[in-house]
Structure 1
Amino acid sequence: MSSLFQNYARRPIHFVQGKGTLIVDDTGKEYLDFTSGIAVLSLGHAHPAIVKAIQQQSEKLWHTSNLFESPEQEQLATTLVKDTHLAHAFFCNSGAEANEAAIKLARKHTGKHAIITFEKSFHGRTFGAMSATGQDKIKNGFGPLLDTFRTVPFNDIQQLESVIDDEVAAIMLEVIQGEGGVNQVTPEFAQAITDICESKGILLIIDEVQTGISRTGTRYAYEQTVLKPDIMTLAKGLGGGFPIGAMLGTSALHDSFGPGTHGTTFGGNPLAVAVAQTVLNNVFTSEFLNEVNEKSSYFLDKLKETLPAYTIVGSGLLLGIVCSDEAAPYIAEAEKAGLLLVAAGPNVIRLLPPLTVSTEEIDQAVNILSSILK
């Protein structure tokens, strides 16, 4: 019997090495990794710049308490908010932690308790983030959750308007619901949220844990909409594989997160910050973003040409293939053929290659997908 809790339905593969999009198991079999550790490996496995950053920082300083100043955190925060309306950052270790911080900040700043979230959303597995998540399968078995979240259907303006009152502190959403089926916010719904927040003085929290850091072809997915978050959360791709999360907020929120209101032991440690800064130095350039969009267009064209019977959804290099039946058997078949995939909801195959994926690797993936889906 394993000494591990069995809270993961693990696939029986033991990976030992990776480089770029390729990952190798202990039998020597190679796979194309189109999961990127679930949207984490922005620059692929063992990117030289990240390896160098870890090596150099590990010889200088691993950890100090957040009781002391950190010019490196200041620089990373400045890079994240540059050319946005956001002004400040808090660093933590994961997306769930970033969302917990966002929930606390919204309630602290407004003095109100209700937060509106959406069906099929995913915000994490800690208690507050789980309560915010709009999927019963995440919540079942844990007893009464926080009752101040109001969950309504995604992209349903009438249902959203029906739960707005003076107790609402914030609306919390993903621009693209990665775990819930690669569901995108519609322009009409985005405009309705914007109008409601502006007219009612409600804060807008955008969860960019999966969509942020150039994954969708812009630095942040909200930049492709009219949405303008007061609070934004990040993780996954920010560290390129090294654990780090972040919550960004506007200058109006600064005084609501004063000393003692929130904290973390490991968040924003020197190793994580060095890696995250290296990732941003690579992915936040116009040249890199152009390449992501070119590869996205290429990928979409190939998928539509090869799989005309299927609906393709998503943006950038967060794409989904909508199946008429369960996606799991196709994912298992792809794995046998050397392509690693992950589902989004029960019937969507999610495609999350590293942002550094080559067109040749995209061709190989499409060929495998074609062979199993046709």
Structure 2
Amino acid sequence: MSTSFDPTTAPILATYARFPLTLVKGEGSRVWDNQGNSYLDFCAGIAVCSLGHCHPSMVAAIEKQARTLIHVSNLYFTEPAAHLAQLITDLVEIPGKTFFANSGAEANDGLIKLARRFGRHCPNPETAEARHEIITFNKSFHGRTLGGIAATGQQKIKDGFDPLLPGFRHVPFNQLNALSEAITPETCAILLEPIQGEGGVNTATPEFLEGLAKLCKEHNLLLMLDEVQCGFGRLGEMMGWRALGAPDLQPDAISWAKGMGGGIPIGAFWVNDRPASDDGTALSSLLGPGSHGSTYGGNPLAAETSLAVLNEIADAELPANAMAREAQIRETIASWKHSAITAVRGKGLMLGIALNPEVVKAPEGKTIAAHLCGELLTNKLLVPPAGPDTIRFLPALNVTEAEVAEALSILKDTLDSL
């Protein structure tokens, strides 16, 4: 290939507003572009690279499995997928079963199908008609499939894709009365992110989670958690919802992706083994043979890599590091008393830094968050936006105290210059 080739001119659909940056190498919390410039990576593939780039344990797992068995059909069992499913059930600490996919969007589509099956198995007791409606929340994000965008509570994600999959109702986040009033005889499930990522890093309160769980029991609804961005250590607990102060919450189903593979594509959803109805049918049995599938989901290479990532997160006590680095970030930003920052939202290493639009200005056609991300990139710090007025800190879970201090210094200098 010619050395003059410019990847930014490649014939790739412009579905992303990409920054003019071509990355060619990564190590730990740093990446390098094709000009040799180094950047501190606090985007981490948008919460994907849990161990940073090219972590030795992950590289070793990929190399070993690539020489052993990369892919077989899901018509057969494999040891990596079996071990990974057992590890997930052990981490959830509730008996259940897992389906492996390739992404968070696919995992969430699986949850939607589970809810539809549940609504058919447990119909409206008065009319005996199947229930199909799922309640989600304003500012939520559940993926880019047609099912995912129908579930998402952001109009900009839906525009231009009508007619959407019916059966979704969106209500305000953290407002229990609004949720209670939205439940209808057709409602079969509630789906939420414990912390909304793309919608601005908005955290569910313990009271809301507890009230939501109570409503699910009262109305026989599935409680489904989307932990695609917040799961597996990022919030300071291996299960994200446990970090939010509602320890008695018992989810019926959970979706994951992003950080569970460290960069290798993998997604999953787990389903509780509890009885779905009085006849004793297990909830996890509602998706039986032929009801769902994935050609590549849980193949040996992806599953073995995920095992290495999740075991390293636990063995290296990275959830505790996430909490320590959160405290460092919050204390440092609070000490600035900076007029450009209005709040720090989130938990662990899923933090949103909200910007003051009266102080941070952007060129016409750009949000202040996207503008600041571009300025930080110029100063060699990579972060993603979260809505129009919030940037995210989503570094690797093993990011060091010194690296966090460096990132904060770049952020402050950049805000001062604006």
> 1:356: Cα distance to partner?
1.1
Equivalent residue of 2:228, what SS? coil
Equivalent residue number for residue 330 of structure 1: 372
Equivalent residue of 1:299, what SS? helix
> 1:114: Cα distance to partner?
0.2
* Aligned partner of 2:268 among 246, 249, 257: 246
Measure the CA separation in 2 of the matches of 1:7 and 1:286.
Answer: 37
The amino acid across from 1:275 in the alignment is T
Equivalent residue of 1:284, what SS? helix
| 2:19–2:374 Cα contact (<8 Å) kept | no
Equivalent residue number for residue 364 of structure 1: 406
The amino acid across from 1:249 in the alignment is V
Measure the CA separation in 1 of the matches of 2:202 and 2:183.
Answer: 23
Correspondence 1:318 to 2:350: yes
Equivalent residue of 1:342, what SS? coil
Listed as ranges, the matches of 1:147-162 within 5 Å are: 147-162=166-181
What is the CA deviation profile of residues 6-25 of structure 1, one whole-angstrom value per residue up to 9, with x for unaligned ones? 11111111111000000000
Structure 2 spans left out of the alignment, 5+ residues: 1-8, 121-130, 275-282, 358-367
Equivalent residue of 2:270, what SS? strand
Correspondence 1:204 to 2:246: no
Listed as ranges, the matches of 1:148-227 within 5 Å are: 148-224=167-243, 225-226=245-246, 227=249
Measure the CA separation in 1 of the matches of 2:95 and 2:260.
Answer: 17
* Aligned partner of 1:271 among 289, 301, 304: 301
What is the CA deviation profile of residues 260-287 of structure 1, one whole-angstrom value per residue up to 9, with x for unaligned ones? 1100100001100010000111112473
Listed as ranges, the matches of 1:120-159 within 5 Å are: 120-159=139-178
Equivalent residue number for residue 291 of structure 2: 261
Measure the CA separation in 1 of the matches of 2:78 and 2:70.
Answer: 13
* Aligned partner of 1:305 among 335, 340, 348: 335
Equivalent residue of 1:50, what SS? helix
Correspondence 1:101 to 2:110: yes
Equivalent residue of 2:346, what SS? strand
Measure the CA separation in 2 of the matches of 1:64 and 1:57.
Answer: 13
Cα distance change, pair 86–312 in 1 and its aligned pair in 2 (3 A): farther
| 2:234–2:319 Cα contact (<8 Å) kept | no
Equivalent residue number for residue 6 of structure 1: 14
Measure the CA separation in 2 of the matches of 1:371 and 1:303.
Answer: 12
The amino acid across from 2:44 in the alignment is S
| 2:369–2:389 Cα contact (<8 Å) kept | yes
| 2:103–2:257 Cα contact (<8 Å) kept | yes
Equivalent residue of 1:278, what SS? helix
Equivalent residue of 1:13, what SS? coil
Which 4+ stretches in 1 moved above 3 angstroms? Answer: none
RMSD: 1.3
The amino acid across from 1:237 in the alignment is G
Measure the CA separation in 2 of the matches of 1:74 and 1:55.
Answer: 20
Measure the CA separation in 1 of the matches of 2:163 and 2:315.
Answer: 45
> 1:175: Cα distance to partner?
0.6
Listed as ranges, the matches of 1:76-87 within 5 Å are: 76-83=84-91, 84-87=93-96
Equivalent residue of 1:76, what SS? helix
What is the CA deviation profile of residues 51-72 of structure 1, one whole-angstrom value per residue up to 9, with x for unaligned ones? 1111110011110000001222
The amino acid across from 1:242 in the alignment is I
| 1:101–1:247 Cα contact (<8 Å) kept | yes
* Aligned partner of 1:354 among 386, 396, 402: 396
Cα distance change, pair 86–96 in 1 and its aligned pair in 2 (3 A): farther
Measure the CA separation in 2 of the matches of 1:363 and 1:172.
Answer: 36
Measure the CA separation in 2 of the matches of 1:99 and 1:334.
Answer: 32
The amino acid across from 1:104 in the alignment is K
> 1:98: Cα distance to partner?
0.2
What is the CA deviation profile of residues 105-143 of structure 1, one whole-angstrom value per residue up to 9, with x for unaligned ones? 111123120000000000000011110000111110011
Measure the CA separation in 1 of the matches of 2:322 and 2:391.
Answer: 20
| 1:242–1:272 Cα contact (<8 Å) kept | yes
Question: Which structure would you say has the larger Rg?
Answer: 2
Cα distance change, pair 281–229 in 1 and its aligned pair in 2 (3 A): same
Correspondence 1:70 to 2:100: no
| 2:189–2:221 Cα contact (<8 Å) kept | yes
| 1:307–1:370 Cα contact (<8 Å) kept | no
Measure the CA separation in 2 of the matches of 1:201 and 1:294.
Answer: 39
The amino acid across from 2:384 in the alignment is V
Measure the CA separation in 2 of the matches of 1:15 and 1:178.
Answer: 24
Measure the CA separation in 1 of the matches of 2:95 and 2:41.
Answer: 33
Equivalent residue of 1:171, what SS? strand
Measure the CA separation in 2 of the matches of 1:143 and 1:30.
Answer: 43
The amino acid across from 2:355 in the alignment is C
* Aligned partner of 2:256 among 234, 245, 263: 234
Correspondence 1:88 to 2:101: no
The amino acid across from 1:244 in the alignment is I
TM-score normalised according to structure 2 size: 0.87
TM-score normalised according to structure 1 size: 0.97
